[in-house]
Every structure is written in C-alpha cells, then in structure tokens.
Copies of this chain bind each other. A is one copy, B any other.
Amino acid sequence: MNIGEIARRAGVSRSTVSYALSGKRPVSDETRRKIQDVIDELGYRPNASARALANGRTSTIGLVFPPAGNHYTGMQLDFIGSVVEAAAVHDYDVLLSPSGVDSDRSFQRLLGERRVDGAILMEIRLQDDRVDHMAELGFPFVTIGRTAHPEHGWWVGLDHTALAAACVHHLADLGHRKVAFVNRPEQLLRAGYESAHRGLDGFTKAAAERGLTVRTYCCGDDASSGQACVAQILHDDPATTALVTLNEAALGGLYRGLALAGRHVPRDFSVTGVVAARWAETVTPQLTAADVPAEALGRRAVDLLIERLDHPDAAARHHLLAPPISLRASTGPAA
C-alpha cells in the first residue's frame, strides 16, 4: 500500500495525496475528504524510509551509551527511559547505540549511514573521541555530562564537583573528621569518566578545605564489590566514621559491609553521596544524598537536541544542575 495506490483509488495525483497529508499546499475539502476516506479504509501510513530519503530527515534520534556488559546502573537506565519518553512526546523515535568509542560499528552506522537526525551521548569522558568526532562532522548532538572542554556547548549535566563537595561539607558539619570516598570502578576513572573525575575532585578539594583526613577508593559496580570496599576502608583506617559515594550499584553492598563490621548507620557511621532518589530510598536507613535528577536530565537533553535540530544556527546552550542534598536517614553526628 503506497501513496500511488491511495492516489489511484481517490482519483487524484500522488502529489495531491502528499499535500493532503502534509498540509503544505491547500487542498479542497472535497478532495481531502475523498483521500482521507481511502486512507482510513486501507489504514495507509507513509513509508518511513522513503520519507527519510526524500526529505533528509529520519525523525529518529540516537542514544549512545557504552556497552556496560549487562551491568547498567539504575541511573543510566533512568536516563534511557526518560529520553525515550521525552522523544516520544515530540514524535521522535530513539535508536539505541551501545558504543563506547567512535570506532564502534554501531556508532559508525549511526553517523555514517545517517540513521538518525541527531544524537544524545551518555557517560561522557573528559576526553571523548565520540564528542570530538561528532563536533568535527558538524553532526547535531547533545551530551549528558560534559568533557574537559565543553566548547561544543550543547549539553546537560550535573555539577559533580559541587555535589561531592556538598556531601563533604554536610559530613564535616556533623563533626566527621575521617571520611572515605567510594568512586566508580577504577577502569572508568582511568578511562576519564567525567562524573568519577569531577566527583573525586570536588571531594578532595572540599575535604582539604575542611581539614579532613580522607582516603579514596574505586569500587566495582555491584553489591559484593561494595561490601569488599567497606571492609578495605575499615581495615585501612578503623577510625573512619563516614563515606561519600558516587557508586549507586554498590550501595547495597556498602550497607552490608558496614552491618557485617558491626557499624550501625547512622549511629556510628554516616553514608551519603550522589544517587538517584528511587535508589536512595531502597536502602535502610534511606540514604541522605544529592538526588540525581535522571528524569529531568534526560528530558532536557531531548529538548535541547530538538531545539538544535529545528534551529541549526541557534546559539549553543546547556544546563548545569546541582540538586540539593535530600536529608534522609543515613547521616548523623560523628560518634
């Protein structure tokens, strides 16, 4: 069932059907009705590939995220959900690309074969070849997170530096003097992940400011790594009374490690960090944390991208969010 068939049955030309559909040219009521009747009867919908070929737009956006090896964090996944739903509102579909670097086949397909009109990149690294590549090509994109040189201008992000610092100040205000930092896996830190780096920076600087004694750790993205990490922390310095974490997936394990070590949260150990609200609320006691607004970030990324697609010459824009710390139940005065 193609546009020619509709035209024939309605007794008009193909162009008239096209215009009746797009509204880009006036069509008499009479004609429009005839066409619509045929369309309704046959359940016709224009072929997306043909349309994309003809007008150069696919009405699809790409969402690029690293292949996490069936190890996605809740936050990443919240992004995906919010991006898809925000895109649907604008009648865009979302094509997923599990690509960590610009040489990945899926990434090449996305850009080279023009499968999408634009892209949203997640899990940005401070030096990110995907970003460089897209910027060089003039391909429209928005990043969730920003590189060391966010000159490309189109991004939404979290102020990890400020958030980690806020956690430190919160703990320092409560009288904690020996604080540990539980980061994402070492491999990600080494790869230059933005959140891991800026979070670590913010933590380190704020701790220095407040004269705290600190140790920093990398931790695998799973519960058992979290458990092991806490064991290590308490082994390295049993006098540690609090920790700050960016590692949502390890959270349950961190709690378990503390329980095993006989530390009661928050009575004799405080835990805080940067975690999406729904995950912060699954642990007991509920985590006092800077809530990652994954939903808002995803939605804003889509809005920015669509703005960029609609106005190719618009000035670059960005949103840097720094949500406040939600006081829940996992922090208390130093013992």
| Residues of B contacting A154 in the complex (Cβ-Cβ under 8 angstroms) | none
| Residues of B contacting A112 in the complex (Cβ-Cβ under 8 angstroms) | 43, 45
A187 within 8 A of B: no
Contacts A95-B60, A96-B94; is A72 near B77 (CB within 8 Å)?
yes
Contacts A94-B95, A97-B93, A108-B45; is A252 near B53 (CB within 8 Å)?
no
A7 within 8 A of B: no
A242-288 residues at the B interface, CB under 8 angstroms:
249, 251-253, 255-256, 259, 278, 281-284, 286
**A331→B295 CA distance, assembly (Å):** 36
Kindly specify which of A82-90, A160-168, A207-215 makes contact with the partner chain: A82-90
For the residues of A in contact with B, the DSSP-based class is: helix
Complex contact A281–B50 (CB within 8 A): no
A223 within 8 A of B: yes
Q: Which of B46, B60, B78, B252 interacts with A72 by CB under 8 Å?
A: B78
Complex contact A48–B282 (CB within 8 A): no
Complex contact B114–A47 (CB within 8 A): yes
Q: Which of B94, B95, B252 interacts with A284 by CB under 8 Å?
A: B252
Q: Closest Cβ of chain B: how far from A204's Cβ, in Å?
A: 28
Complex contact A48–B281 (CB within 8 A): no
**A95→B53 CA distance, assembly (Å):** 18
A236 within 8 A of B: no
Q: Closest Cβ of chain B: how far from A38's Cβ, in Å?
A: 15
| Residues of B contacting A249 in the complex (Cβ-Cβ under 8 angstroms) | 282
**A115→B85 CA distance, assembly (Å):** 18
Q: Which of A82, A97, A113, A222 has the largest number of chain B CB atoms within 10 A? A: A113
Q: Mark A301-321, 1 if CB is under 8 A from B, else 0.
A: 000000000000000000000
Q: Closest Cβ of chain B: how far from A256's Cβ, in Å?
A: 4
A80 within 8 A of B: yes
Q: Closest Cβ of chain B: how far from A94's Cβ, in Å?
A: 5
Complex contact B48–A67 (CB within 8 A): no
Contacts A53-B49, A98-B88, A112-B45; is A295 near B255 (CB within 8 Å)?
no
Q: Closest Cβ of chain B: how far from A98's Cβ, in Å?
A: 5
Complex contact B85–A105 (CB within 8 A): no
Complex contact A48–B115 (CB within 8 A): yes
**A278→B69 CA distance, assembly (Å):** 13
Q: Which of B52, B82, B278 interacts with A222 by CB under 8 Å?
A: B278
| Residues of B contacting A70 in the complex (Cβ-Cβ under 8 angstroms) | 78, 81-82, 85, 294-295
Complex contact B82–A105 (CB within 8 A): no
Given contacts A48-B109, A81-B98, A93-B95, 11 further A-B contacts (CB under 8 A): A46-B113, A47-B53, A50-B53, A70-B294, A72-B81, A93-B115, A222-B278, A223-B282, A224-B281, A256-B284, A282-B282
State the 4 A-B residue pairs at the shortest beta-carbon distance, nearest first: A252-B282, A45-B112, A77-B77, A48-B113
